[in-house]
Amino acid sequence: MLTMDNVTVTFQDGQERLTALDNISFSATPGHLTFIVGESGSGKSTLLSAAAGLLTPDSGTVLIDDTPVDTRVRLEKIGMIFQQANLIGALNVRDQLLVTDHIRGVKPRKERADELLATVGLEGLGDRKMQQLSGGQRQRVGIARALMGEPSLILADEPTAALDSERSHEIVALLRNLVQERNIACGFVTHDTELISSSDEVVRVADGQVTAASVARAA
């Protein structure tokens, strides 16, 4: 579970101090997608960076399963999914997942990687090069990679932005099922409110502040 409590983040801009997040509080509960929506410049990306421990708030707390976020917690408890998948072109599909084991300092788990690839609909494609995959398949690799460390929280930064509507809904449906089955919390930044269903949680960000709604419109 992700809990952000009274979090404020400011940046220095020349002579001026700008507030990116203004005393925000919200939580992302296990088993649900928590969509983070808002206009460009509203603070969504800053919120995600704070949740991931990539920046330190001026004040407030960010907890994952009641533990303050730091580098160790980020490696052990958080899986990241990016807009462009951030995959390594020189590696095959399976190795995209195994590199996360190297980062964590654990023995590469080929069987787990192949199991996760099958889970996201890429069974038998472990030896494929990234150039042989479609955009939707690459995002499926990104989802599998995010699950390699058995995270408590997945943070997704507009992972469907480069996909068409059909592929976007497929990716969201896959992720929704996975977080429900594995009881994982998931913060999902998007501009596309058409992806939201009645079972999802929603956090709307505007001018560095958030308003949370437990139920979105029906799909």
* Rounded-to-integer distance, Cα 162 and Cα 57, Å: 30
Contact 60, 78 (CB under 8 A): no
Side-chain-facing half-sphere of 15: CA atoms under 13 Å: 0
Phi and psi at residue 45, to the nearest 5°: -65, -35
Asked whether the predicted pLDDT for residue 215 surpasses 70, the reply is: no
Which positions ≥6 away from 134 have C-beta within 8 Å? none
Over the stretch 37-79, which tens digit does the pLDDT of each residue have? 988 888 898 999 999 999 999 999 999 999 999 988 998 999 9
Over the stretch 72-127, which tens digit does the pLDDT of each residue have? 899 899 999 987 767 888 899 999 999 999 988 889 999 999 999 999 999 999 99
Contact 28, 187 (CB under 8 A): yes
Average pLDDT across the chain, whole number: 91
Q: Under the phi-then-psi rule, with left for phi > 0, alpha for psi from -120 to 50, and beta for the rest, what region is 89?
A: alpha
Mean pLDDT of 168-196: 94
Over the stretch 145-157, which tens digit does the pLDDT of each residue have? 999 989 999 999 9
Contact 103, 88 (CB under 8 A): no
Residue-level pLDDT at 214: 57
* Rounded-to-integer distance, Cα 138 and Cα 87, Å: 8
CB atoms under 10 Å from CB of 173, counted, come to 13
Residue-range domain boundaries for the chain: 2-213
2-213 CATH fold: Rossmann fold (3.40.50)
Q: What percentage of the chain reaches a pLDDT higher than 70?
A: 96
Residue-level pLDDT at 210: 84
Q: What percentage of the chain reaches a pLDDT higher than 90?
A: 74
